[in-house]
Structure 1
Amino acid sequence: MDRIILHCDCNCFYASCELLSHPDLRQLPVAVCGDPMERHGIILAKNEPAKRCGVKTAETIWKAKQKCPGLILLPPHHRLYAEYSKKINAVYGEYTDLVEPFGIDESWLDVTNSLHLFGGDAKALADTLRERIKREFGLTISVGVSFNKVFAKLGSDYKKPDATTVIARDNWRDIVFPLPVGDLLFVGRSAQELLGRYGVRTIGELSKCSEEMLETLMGKMGSQLYRYANGLDDSPVRGAADREPIKSVGNSTTFRRDLTRWDEVQSGISLLSDSVAMRLRRYGLYCGGVQVGIKNSRFQVFSRQTTLDHSTHLMREINDTALRLAKDLWKAPDPIRLLSVTALHLTEEAQSYRQLDLLGTDDTQQEKQEAVESAMDALRKKFGRGVISYGTAEDTISGEKIERE
């Protein structure tokens, strides 16, 4: 029996949350950005009127203003978005215990074993969810219904806002095959360009490629994309009970040549901290500690860790802490073969152990940095992971570490 998977995607999430406090602006073009006074800032989100003007997520404010001179800019409030995300996922949890968040504004639901409790009609259940979210929170969602996670996500993207799209066994080729290959999960800009060089521009064309050819071109990712394009995705929706608690999130880098200068070490630490922070945000986690590891050219391994006075998922804070640890740990110019940065003491809620700043300057700085790094996430989500990064490093990523209890 086929599974019944829903993918629920909040429409224009940041902007929609902000407009709950500004109902008078709903029919006007509105965008959320890091700093409305900074013309080189990035658009984090926009509402439908702004979208109709051609405003795009991740473009610069000045470019958006050129397209839409009347664009209204609002600052982001990330804690507000996290609160609504939690409330919305709680609603999903009333229909199934298999709810898997995918970022702050998207979730998969596996209703295979619970659908009969709610009428047995998957499309009707999707419509019910849309109406509930709209009625209870004033927000809209688009829902994709399908027999696997990848096609359910394609369905939620297919028609927006506030729509339900069913991609079933009898119609999936008609809907999926004409779509651009870039619409497929995890196909970023670089993968799109690579496939385009071989004449693969639609998901249908991707499905006709041999799995061996794609694996030769793209490694394991090629084999995965072959399965996605041919409707063979069988990845499970992992509910909270199935997801083992993540104990730590870390990355390690083995360098093409040994590092002997501090600026090289800084570059490597920045690359790793950026990757760790990005993954923490993807998992919806914060870390309360940081560990740095060094392996020298004699294959000796040294490590040092520290706790933070507040939890974080921001690259700048993880990077600053990791650099302090590396400076204490490394005896220059002892050659470094490998570096690692690991986030420890993970929580799902931001926590603070420091004395409150009565002027609120710490919170203001954090909000600004949240905006910067959210903009980077938006760019990477749209154009691929390699589109933007902190600094440069001559390195080869050897692997990502996720340790679970």
Structure 2
Amino acid sequence: MDRIILHCDLNCFYASVELLSHPELRDVPTAVCGDPASRHGIILAKNEPAKRCGVQTAETIWQARKKCPGLVLLPPHHALYREYSHRVNALYDEYTDLVEPFGIDESWLDVTGSLHLFGGDARQLADTLRRRVREELGLSLSVGVSFNKVFAKLGSDYKKPDATTVISRDTWRDLVWPLPVGDLLYVGGAARKLLRQYGITTIGQLAACRREMLETLMGKLGGQLYEYANGLDTDPVRSRYEAEPVKSVGNGTTFPQNLTTRAQIQTGIAMLSDSVATRLRHLGLYAGGIQVTLRTPEFRDLSRQKQLSNPTHLIRDLTQSAMELVDALWRPPAPVRALTVTAIHLAAEDEAYEQEDLFAAPAPRREKQERLEAAMDRIRGKYGSGSITFGAAAPEKEEDPLP
């Protein structure tokens, strides 16, 4: 028996929530954006009139205003968005206990076991959800209905705003295969560019490839995309109350002014590594790898990652490894707008200890560092996160040469 999966996507979510307080702007091009004075001046969301003017999410304010000189800008209210997201998911809970959020404005619902309680017609249930969200919350919803999560999401994207699209077992090839390959879940810009080099521009062309070829080109992702394109996705819908394994722990920040020296970047990396290490220890996890992303003033992201020789949750280790990646990515005085440090390949303490070389570094030195950072955690827990800072946050002298 096929599953019955719904993917519910709130249309123009941030902008729609803001327009509840500004109904006079519904037919006026309007966007939610960050504060230009804080260097977060990008478009976070836009309404349908702004979309028709060509305004795009994540572009800068000046780019958006160039396309749409009359664009009205509103500041974001993230607490309000979280509240509405919670209310929408609570409404979904009335129809199934299997509701899996995918970001703040999207959720999958598995109604296989409960659909008979609501009439037995999946399209009708989707239309009911759209009506209730519109009438009770003032928001619009697009819903995809299918036999797996990937096609359900394709369905919610297929027609917007405020629409229901069914992708059935009988018709999915006719509907899905002509779509651009970039519409498929997890096919981002880099994957799309790579596939285009091999003449793969539609989901149908991707489906026709040999799995082995895609795995050679793209590794594990290639096999996953082969299954997605051929309707073989079996990923379950997980309840939002079910704890999801932590796959990465990261922290990033945009700086008030561009960083142009290695000392400035090291200070930023040390502060971010401190935050990441503290969260790892709080979660009882060790990082087996680390990733660093640098963002230029032109919003170009440069990213690199590496496997660590020993799993760690220590500030010193993460800072040192992150700076090695920075030195491979960046050459001064190229300006850096933002930095992100992410711990990857995470393992619980017992799993980390199973690796023979976990404590390849001299044990007394590592044990001393463990005690030091544990003491820092206790002090911060009692007196606040800003009460003590690890010495690695102190910058090098400006004249220190690159290694």
Larger Cα-atom Rg: 2
> Cα RMSD between the aligned structures?
3.6
- Corresponding residue number in structure 2 for 1:375: none
Whether contact under 8 Å (1:36, 1:74) holds in the other structure is no
Determine the C-alpha separation between the residues in 1 that align with 2:131 and 2:318: 56
Determine the C-alpha separation between the residues in 2 that align with 1:272 and 1:325: 19
- Corresponding residue number in structure 1 for 2:392: 327
- Corresponding residue number in structure 2 for 1:11: 11
Q: TM-score, normalization: structure 2?
A: 0.68
- Corresponding residue number in structure 2 for 1:275: 342
- Helix, strand or coil at the partner of 1:275: strand
Give the direction of change, closer, same or farther, for the CA distance of 1:213–1:68 in structure 2 (3 Å limit): same
Give the direction of change, closer, same or farther, for the CA distance of 1:216–1:244 in structure 2 (3 Å limit): closer
1:264 deviates by 5.1
Determine the C-alpha separation between the residues in 2 that align with 1:56 and 1:201: 22
Give the direction of change, closer, same or farther, for the CA distance of 1:272–1:65 in structure 2 (3 Å limit): closer
- Corresponding residue number in structure 1 for 2:289: 253
Give the direction of change, closer, same or farther, for the CA distance of 1:97–1:40 in structure 2 (3 Å limit): closer
- Corresponding residue number in structure 2 for 1:25: 25
- Helix, strand or coil at the partner of 2:129: helix
Q: Aligned match of 1:298 in 351, 361, 368?
A: 361
What do the CA deviations read for 1:352-388 (whole angstroms, capped 9, x no partner)?
A: xxxxxxxxxxxxxxxxxxxxxxxxxxxxxxxxxxxxx
Please show how residues 237-386 of structure 1 align to structure 2 within 5 Å. Answer: 237-243=237-243, 247=283, 251-253=287-289, 267=323, 274-275=341-342, 298=361, 300=363, 301=366, 302-303=369-370, 304-305=373-374, 306=377, 324-325=389-390, 327=392
Do residues 94 (structure 1) and 161 (structure 2) align?
A: no
Determine the C-alpha separation between the residues in 2 that align with 1:60 and 1:97: 40
Determine the C-alpha separation between the residues in 1 that align with 2:146 and 2:319: 50
Do residues 173 (structure 1) and 173 (structure 2) align?
A: yes
- Corresponding residue number in structure 1 for 2:270: none
Q: Any unmatched runs of 5+ in structure 1? A: 280-294, 311-316, 333-393, 395-405
- Corresponding residue number in structure 1 for 2:187: 187
Determine the C-alpha separation between the residues in 1 that align with 2:340 and 2:289: 11
1:274 deviates by 3.9
Do residues 216 (structure 1) and 216 (structure 2) align?
A: yes
Determine the C-alpha separation between the residues in 2 that align with 1:245 and 1:186: 19
Do residues 236 (structure 1) and 299 (structure 2) align?
A: no
What do the CA deviations read for 1:17-73 (whole angstroms, capped 9, x no partner)?
A: 111110111110000000166797110000000000000001111010000000000
Give the direction of change, closer, same or farther, for the CA distance of 1:164–1:249 in structure 2 (3 Å limit): farther
1:133 deviates by 0.3
- Corresponding residue number in structure 2 for 1:343: none
- Corresponding residue number in structure 1 for 2:278: none
Identical counterparts, % of pairs:
62
**Letter aligned with residue 228 of structure 2:** Y
1:170 deviates by 1.1
Determine the C-alpha separation between the residues in 2 that align with 1:234 and 1:173: 17
Q: Any unmatched runs of 5+ in structure 2? A: 247-282, 291-305, 310-315, 327-337, 347-357, 397-402
What do the CA deviations read for 1:73-102 (whole angstroms, capped 9, x no partner)?
A: 001010000000000000000000000000
Whether contact under 8 Å (1:36, 1:75) holds in the other structure is no
Please show how residues 141-180 of structure 1 align to structure 2 within 5 Å. Answer: 141-180=141-180
Whether contact under 8 Å (2:33, 2:41) holds in the other structure is yes
- Helix, strand or coil at the partner of 2:70: coil
1:174 deviates by 1.0
Determine the C-alpha separation between the residues in 2 that align with 1:275 and 1:167: 37
Give the direction of change, closer, same or farther, for the CA distance of 1:274–1:45 in structure 2 (3 Å limit): farther
- Helix, strand or coil at the partner of 2:342: helix
**Letter aligned with residue 253 of structure 1:** G
**Letter aligned with residue 289 of structure 2:** T
Please show how residues 108-127 of structure 1 align to structure 2 within 5 Å. Answer: 108-127=108-127
Do residues 61 (structure 1) and 80 (structure 2) align?
A: no
- Corresponding residue number in structure 1 for 2:128: 128
Give the direction of change, closer, same or farther, for the CA distance of 1:166–1:31 in structure 2 (3 Å limit): same
Determine the C-alpha separation between the residues in 2 that align with 1:154 and 1:47: 21
Determine the C-alpha separation between the residues in 2 that align with 1:66 and 1:249: 47
Whether contact under 8 Å (1:44, 1:58) holds in the other structure is yes
Q: TM-score, normalization: structure 1?
A: 0.67
Determine the C-alpha separation between the residues in 1 that align with 2:117 and 2:362: 59
Determine the C-alpha separation between the residues in 2 that align with 1:256 and 1:309: 31
The number of aligned residues is 306
